[in-house]
């Protein structure tokens, strides 16, 4: 474990937060690499942009687990979009529903 951490530290590339273009470029490369073996590999650019947009919306100390994925059947993968905020599935209720 210590050897792995040492190698990661040696190979890491520091990126300053003030260089937004370079930071985004590195995040795009990471996202593209992570998607390269998935079923959506043909849409790497499309989803890499979406992933980086989602990560950039988080504050620096926010948990990445706050990013959720909602799967909806039907449509094309390119119908996917990023919701900036909170999304709820629309449901209908009727009078006396809570009782």
Q: In this structure, are residues 26 and 18 in contact, taking their beta carbons and an 8 Å threshold? A: no
Average pLDDT over residues 14-24: 83
Q: Given this model, what pLDDT does residue 92 score?
A: 67
23 vs 17: CA distance, rounded Å: 7
Indicate the helix (H) or strand (E) that contains 34: helix 20-35
Average pLDDT over residues 76-92: 82
pTM: 0.70
Question: Residue 78 CA to chain centroid, in angstroms?
Answer: 15
Average pLDDT over residues 40-60: 90
Show Cβ contacts of residue 66 under 8 Å, excluding neighbours closer than 6 positions. Answer: 58
Confidence of residue 91 (pLDDT cuts 50, 70, 90): confident
Residue 94: pLDDT above 70? no
Among 50, 48, 52, 25, smallest CA distance to 35 is for 48
Q: Given this model, what pLDDT does residue 96 score?
A: 61
Average pLDDT over residues 71-96: 80
């Amino acid at each position: 474990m210590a050897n792995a951490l040492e190698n990661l530290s040696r190979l890491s590339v520091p990126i300053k937060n003030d260089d937004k273009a370079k930071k985004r470029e590195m995040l795009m490369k990471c996202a593209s690499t992570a998607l390269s073996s998935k079923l959506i590999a043909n849409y790497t650019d499309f989803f890499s942009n979406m992933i980086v947009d989602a990560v950039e919306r988080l504050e620096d100390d926010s948990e990445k687990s706050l990013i959720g994925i909602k799967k909806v059947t039907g449509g094309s993968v390119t119908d996917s979009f990023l919701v900036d905020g909170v999304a709820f599935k629309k449901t209908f209720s009727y009078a006396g529903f809570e009782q």
